[in-house]
Chains A and B, each alone.
Chain A
Amino acid sequence: MKVTMQGVSKSFGSVRVLDSVDFAVTGGEIHALMGENGAGKSTLMKILSGAYSADGGNILIDGAPVTIRSTRDAEALGIAIIHQELNMIPQLSVMDNLFLGREPNRLGVIERGRMHGESASWLGKVGAGQIDVDRRAETLSIGLQQLVEIAKALSLNARVLIMDEPTASLTDREIGTLFAIMTDLKARGVGIVYVSHRMEEIFKICDKVSVLRDGHFVGERVVAETNFDEVVKLMVGRELKERFPQRQAALGPVRLEVDDLTDAGHIAGIHFDVHGGEVLGVAGLVGAGRSRILNTLFGVNPKTSGRVLLDGLPLSIGRPADAIAAGIGFVTEDRKSQGLVLGLSLRENVTLVHLGKYARGGIINRKAEDAAVKELMNELQIRARDAELEVQALSGGNQQKVVFAKWLAKPPKVLLLDEPTRGVDVGGKAEIYHTINRLAAAGTAIVMVSSELPEVLAMSDRILVMREGRQAAIFDAKTTSQEEIIAAATEGLRAA
């Protein structure tokens, strides 16, 4: 089966998000769809899967025009989508989710036996036969939930499968499983559209790559005949000189000392220090306790033992406000649920942390606030028409810069970063790296958790590797390698 989109256009209000875009995917290929945030990838895929309807253009299946007005239409034509935010109903069982909306029934009474058998067989086809179909969906890991979604798509007889950032929250092992299944589906003639920001994955698993920029189709390449630089150039429209900006580390005295940090059951015996001007990377598998260190330092979870010293003085932190008062900032992992108040304006988000700085007797001085916001927008290159715009209207990269800006109104002594560039496009990433370097140069001690090893290696001075809640090693970033880090992160782990 070959699905072709021709001259597809779509506008929201006066904003044209897709302008006459062409795209085609054929059965038996894995086709990457790339582009920076806001390039129109998601919109294009939502049109193909029936969530949006196009303003203009055609969709053809094997050369014959078709009309897709709803998800049901798309499914009937054999097109299914797996969203980045999985569409599971957490309280329902795996099989209830698999057959949601099309439960096999007799006079409205569900045929549970049949559902049971069919669910198990579809799960078997994606190598997830071990999942108990009666388990509630919320008890599965994200990786397993994703396999259930894939099984569901297959049960719908999908010939084209769209996957939107499927690896964003998977562990390395889960990604391996996913890739094996994708390869298997491809061998069986299924066409896969693969939307991802992770360049390494594209070159590992995909056959073709199509690139969108600013709502336009800019090119299609065979992966084997292109390279990293060409794809990035297509995406950003210019050559990206350096993926990771260089930094001259000038280490000051020790700022943050962490001694035997332990919490109730997730991490134990964590011991490190960070100098002013230093970036300490934290690597490890998902669930190894990386984020937990940051959360505990910031007072989100209580520590049960251990000492934390800032500039030589012991800290007592019971809640985030204490950490902030001490001069610690925290760019959280999930900007939408933890970092931003989406319904408030850019200005109101930026000044939320240090609002007191622009207030006297509890009354806000709007002039001072506006001036500070303007300055931070310039400093961080936040691109928005004006500061009164609701922050949910911004692209992922700009939203992440707003999260950074929140902490920079007063220069932090220590800045904790949890996946600082997740879901941010290539150009935005480089700007965030510059910000991190600038902060370090100004004497801030930075602790950065990241799942992207190239990022950890390039940005850090030293790298702390976590394994099952314990500190496995600390490496010098100049002399270590991806292999050494992965070995330390997985050494002795039982195969699951």
Chain B
Amino acid sequence: MTAQQKATLQRLGPLLALVAVCSGLAFLSPSFLSVGNSFDVMRQVSINAVIAFGMTLSILLGGIDLSVGSILAVSSVLAAMTMKAGHGAVLAGGAALLAGAAMGALNGVVIAKGKVAPFIATLGMMTLLRGVGLVLSHGSPISGFPSDLFALLGGGYVARLIPVPVVLMLAMFAVFWFVLTRTVFGRHVYATGGNAEAAKLSGVNIDRVQVLVYTVSGAMAALAGLILTSRLDSAQPTAGVGYELDAITAVVLGGTSLAGGRGWIFGTLVGALLIGVLNNGLNLMGVSAFYQQVVKGSVILLAVLLDRGHKN
């Protein structure tokens, strides 16, 4: 086996794990592979996947974005308030996405211009924005939106079969794939994450790359917030707690290196699906919630250990 083939096999490791888990679950629980259940799983996955796509960018930079859960909450509350004030779904959605992008951009500026470590910068932002969400909503959920269009976002179907969140997830996947593999910006993300000094000396505007990446991450958190709010018909200021960890898990399961510069968006999609499939399968089999955590944690450790084994 050549080094190239080995590398390819290693990249496909997460996919093989996903196929293996799916086969196992199909064997244990016949209803698992039904069309209905498959789309159910993907819909459940979509929110985490959308956040994780943004997270992939920050992790490729060698950074991290811990504030995604709080950004999700604030954008959701903003969208709900906009609709409660009598505006339409389009304006509400636009406001939420813009706000998410702005909060992300603030992260980026603190990190790039203030030279603050991404972990610390986004940790501070996580707490700060959680507070902002609570202040805006006075600590209580905002529920009941009249717009049918908004309800479609989380609950609708395309061609009466594919849930809208799944379509959104796949569309975002396609966009991220294209951006990371085919555009100058994508190349600059890899270069900056791999060696910021060399990238800068090659004329890459690394400050701009960082600000853009965190802006995108914020916007993706806001998009996830919109899907969630639509599904629940309610915006919760406490929504999204712990979502950053699920997203990071998906990214790392997909083979993207926390050290930066190495990884791909397909892995993140697979990682998110793997988590979702495990959740769903364990539910179908009636495994208690306590044991589910044990199983999930074990799978994560195993996957990462296998990955390390390949590298040595």
Q: Which of A215-223, A330-338, A419-427, A441-449 contacts B (4 or more CB under 8 A)?
A: A330-338
In chain A, positions 291-308 with a C-beta closer than 8 Å to chain B are 298, 300
Q: Answer whether A340 and B198 are a contact pair too, CB < 8 Å, given A352-B187, A363-B183.
A: yes
**Which chain A residues border B183 with CB–CB below 8 Å?**
359, 362-364
Q: Are A320 and B194 in contact (CB under 8 A)?
A: no
Q: Are A321 and B3 in contact (CB under 8 A)?
A: no
Q: Which residue of B lies closest to A344 (CB)?
A: B194
B262 adjacent to chain A (CB < 8 Å): yes
**Which chain A residues border B298 with CB–CB below 8 Å?**
none
Q: Are A364 and B195 in contact (CB under 8 A)?
A: no
- Please tell me which one of the listed residues B191, B201, B262 contacts residue A320 in the complex, with CB atoms under 8 A apart: B201
Q: Are B202 and A344 in contact (CB under 8 A)?
A: no
- A342 and B202 alpha carbons, distance in the complex (Å): 14
**Which chain A residues border B214 with CB–CB below 8 Å?**
none
- A362 and B188 alpha carbons, distance in the complex (Å): 11
- A341 and B62 alpha carbons, distance in the complex (Å): 13
- Please tell me which one of the listed residues B187, B195, B199 contacts residue A342 in the complex, with CB atoms under 8 A apart: B195
Residue-wise, chain A 348-372 has the 8 Å CB interface mask toward B (1 for contact) of 1000110110010011101000000
Q: Are B182 and A341 in contact (CB under 8 A)?
A: no
A343 adjacent to chain B (CB < 8 Å): yes
Q: Are B262 and A343 in contact (CB under 8 A)?
A: yes
For the complex, count residues of A whose C-beta is within 8 A of B.
Answer: 31
- A406 and B185 alpha carbons, distance in the complex (Å): 18
Q: Are A341 and B184 in contact (CB under 8 A)?
A: no
Minimum CB–CB distance from B145 to chain A (whole Å) comes to 37
Minimum CB–CB distance from B281 to chain A (whole Å) comes to 35
**Which chain A residues border B182 with CB–CB below 8 Å?**
363-364, 366
Q: Which residue of B lies closest to A330 (CB)?
A: B201
A252 adjacent to chain B (CB < 8 Å): no
Residue-wise, chain A 114-153 has the 8 Å CB interface mask toward B (1 for contact) of 0000000000000000000000000000000000000000
Q: Are A300 and B201 in contact (CB under 8 A)?
A: yes
Q: Answer whether A320 and B200 are a contact pair too, CB < 8 Å, given A340-B195, A364-B182.
A: yes
Q: Are A364 and B201 in contact (CB under 8 A)?
A: no
In chain B, positions 1-56 with a C-beta closer than 8 Å to chain A are 2-4
Minimum CB–CB distance from A8 to chain B (whole Å) comes to 23
Q: Are B3 and A337 in contact (CB under 8 A)?
A: no
Q: Are B184 and A337 in contact (CB under 8 A)?
A: no
Minimum CB–CB distance from A330 to chain B (whole Å) comes to 6
In chain B, positions 255-279 with a C-beta closer than 8 Å to chain A are 261-262
**Which chain B residues border A388 with CB–CB below 8 Å?**
4
Q: Answer whether A348 and B191 are a contact pair too, CB < 8 Å, given A324-B203, A362-B184.
A: yes
Q: Are A353 and B202 in contact (CB under 8 A)?
A: yes
Minimum CB–CB distance from B182 to chain A (whole Å) comes to 6
For the complex, count residues of B whose C-beta is within 8 A of A.
Answer: 24
In chain B, positions 187-226 with a C-beta closer than 8 Å to chain A are 187-188, 190-191, 194-195, 197-205
Minimum CB–CB distance from A480 to chain B (whole Å) comes to 32
- A325 and B182 alpha carbons, distance in the complex (Å): 23
Q: Are B3 and A342 in contact (CB under 8 A)?
A: no
Where the two chains meet, the residues of A that have a C-beta atom closer than 8 Å to any C-beta of B are: 13-14, 298, 300, 319-321, 324-325, 330, 332, 337-344, 348, 352-353, 355-356, 359, 362-364, 366, 388, 406
7 tightest CB-CB pairs across the interface, nearest first?
A341-B194, A324-B203, A321-B203, A341-B195, A352-B202, A353-B202, A343-B194
Name 30 interchain pairs, CB-CB below 8 A, sorted by A: A298-B201, A300-B201, A320-B200, A321-B204, A337-B195, A338-B197, A338-B198, A338-B201, A339-B201, A340-B195, A341-B191, A342-B195, A343-B194, A343-B261, A344-B190, A344-B194, A344-B261, A348-B187, A352-B198, A353-B203, A355-B184, A355-B187, A362-B183, A362-B185, A363-B183, A363-B184, A364-B183, A364-B184, A364-B187, A406-B202
Knowing that A338-B201, A339-B198, A348-B190 are A-B contacts, what are 17 other residue pairs whose CB atoms are under 8 Å apart, sorted by A's residue number?
A: A298-B201, A319-B200, A320-B202, A324-B203, A337-B198, A338-B198, A340-B195, A343-B195, A344-B191, A344-B194, A352-B204, A353-B203, A363-B182, A364-B183, A364-B184, A364-B187, A388-B4
